[in-house]
Amino acid sequence: MYLLDMANTKGHVASINDGQWHPKENNIFITGSQDGTIRQWDMYSKEVGVEAQLAHTTLMKAKGARGCKVSITTS
Protein backbone atom coordinates (compact mmCIF):
# COMPACT_ATOMS: atom_id res chain seq x y z
CA MET A 1 0.00 0.00 0.00
CA TYR A 2 2.82 2.47 0.77
CA LEU A 3 4.00 2.24 -2.86
CA LEU A 4 0.89 4.14 -3.91
CA ASP A 5 1.87 7.14 -1.80
CA MET A 6 5.44 8.12 -2.69
CA ALA A 7 5.70 10.37 0.38
CA ASN A 8 5.72 7.27 2.62
CA THR A 9 8.74 5.65 0.98
CA LYS A 10 12.32 6.32 2.11
CA GLY A 11 13.62 6.44 -1.45
CA HIS A 12 12.79 5.87 -5.09
CA VAL A 13 10.82 2.78 -6.11
CA ALA A 14 11.85 2.87 -9.80
CA SER A 15 14.99 3.56 -11.81
CA ILE A 16 16.81 6.84 -11.20
CA ASN A 17 17.26 8.77 -14.45
CA ASP A 18 19.37 11.65 -13.18
CA GLY A 19 21.26 12.88 -10.14
CA GLN A 20 22.95 16.23 -9.53
CA TRP A 21 24.79 17.94 -6.69
CA HIS A 22 23.26 21.22 -5.55
CA PRO A 23 25.21 24.09 -7.15
CA LYS A 24 25.65 26.03 -3.88
CA GLU A 25 25.26 23.53 -1.04
CA ASN A 26 27.87 20.74 -1.04
CA ASN A 27 25.84 18.40 1.19
CA ILE A 28 22.68 18.32 -0.99
CA PHE A 29 22.13 15.77 -3.79
CA ILE A 30 19.00 15.76 -5.98
CA THR A 31 17.67 12.74 -7.91
CA GLY A 32 14.89 12.27 -10.46
CA SER A 33 13.25 8.91 -11.12
CA GLN A 34 10.81 7.04 -13.32
CA ASP A 35 8.54 6.78 -10.27
CA GLY A 36 7.56 10.43 -10.94
CA THR A 37 9.39 11.97 -7.99
CA ILE A 38 12.29 14.34 -7.46
CA ARG A 39 14.00 13.82 -4.11
CA GLN A 40 16.48 15.97 -2.27
CA TRP A 41 18.99 14.21 -0.05
CA ASP A 42 21.09 15.78 2.72
CA MET A 43 24.31 13.80 3.00
CA TYR A 44 24.74 14.86 6.64
CA SER A 45 21.24 13.94 7.83
CA LYS A 46 20.63 11.09 10.26
CA GLU A 47 20.15 7.62 8.80
CA VAL A 48 16.78 5.97 9.54
CA GLY A 49 15.31 2.49 9.84
CA VAL A 50 16.69 -0.93 10.67
CA GLU A 51 18.93 -0.84 7.60
CA ALA A 52 20.25 2.62 8.61
CA GLN A 53 19.48 4.15 5.23
CA LEU A 54 19.56 7.79 4.23
CA ALA A 55 16.03 9.16 3.77
CA HIS A 56 15.13 12.04 1.48
CA THR A 57 14.61 15.45 3.05
CA THR A 58 12.33 16.91 0.36
CA LEU A 59 9.95 15.21 -2.07
CA MET A 60 8.36 16.68 -5.19
CA LYS A 61 5.81 14.80 -7.32
CA ALA A 62 5.70 15.47 -11.06
CA LYS A 63 2.37 15.54 -12.88
CA GLY A 64 1.55 16.03 -16.54
CA ALA A 65 -1.00 18.40 -18.06
CA ARG A 66 -3.81 15.92 -17.32
CA GLY A 67 -2.75 15.50 -13.70
CA CYS A 68 -1.22 12.04 -14.24
CA LYS A 69 2.14 10.92 -12.90
CA VAL A 70 5.02 11.41 -15.34
CA SER A 71 8.57 10.09 -15.39
CA ILE A 72 11.44 12.43 -14.53
CA THR A 73 14.14 12.51 -17.21
CA THR A 74 16.42 15.17 -15.68
CA SER A 75 16.63 17.02 -12.36
> pLDDT (tens digit, 9 = 90+) per residue, 6-60?
567 777 888 899 999 999 999 999 999 998 889 999 988 877 666 667 778 888 8
What pTM does this model have?
Answer: 0.74
Q: Which residues contact 5 (CB under 8 A, 6 or more apart)?
A: none
Report the C-alpha gap between 70 and 29 in whole angstroms. Answer: 21
